[in-house]
């Protein structure tokens, strides 16, 4: 989990700025990948019911972690703010 978390870029924005990156207290990569796989499976089963053809569902856990960084890209695109590790404070998020 920590490898896909880091490869996906989450370690860049997690933790205090003056300390090394931290991992989240609960594994995030696998549940994100699992929910994407479950969604893909539901669509494949729906399509099978319509067409009678089988489908191949392929999900990348790393891509799902990258999708959780959507607000990081949006902050750059809209505000030209590069989000880095900010400890317990994060611009634009409610608590």
Per-residue pLDDT of 7-19, as tens digits, reads 777 777 777 778 7
Model confidence, pTM? 0.64
More confident residue, 64 or 36: 36
pLDDT at residue 89, as a whole number: 61
What separation in angstroms does the CA of 87 have from each of 17, 19, 23, 78?
6, 9, 12, 23
Tokens of 6: 């880091």
Residue 91 has pLDDT above 70, yes or no: no
More confident residue, 93 or 19: 19
């Amino acid at each position: 989990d920590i490898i896909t978390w880091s490869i996906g870029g989450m370690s860049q924005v997690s933790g205090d700025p003056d300390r090394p990156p931290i991992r989240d207290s609960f594994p995030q990569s696998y549940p994100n990948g699992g929910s994407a796989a479950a969604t893909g499976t539901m669509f494949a089963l729906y399509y099978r019911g319509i067409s009678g053809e089988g489908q191949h569902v392929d999900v990348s856990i790393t891509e799902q972690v990258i999708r959780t960084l959507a607000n990081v890209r949006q902050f750059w695109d809209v505000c030209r703010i590069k989000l880095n590790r900010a400890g317990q404070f994060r611009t634009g998020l409610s608590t």
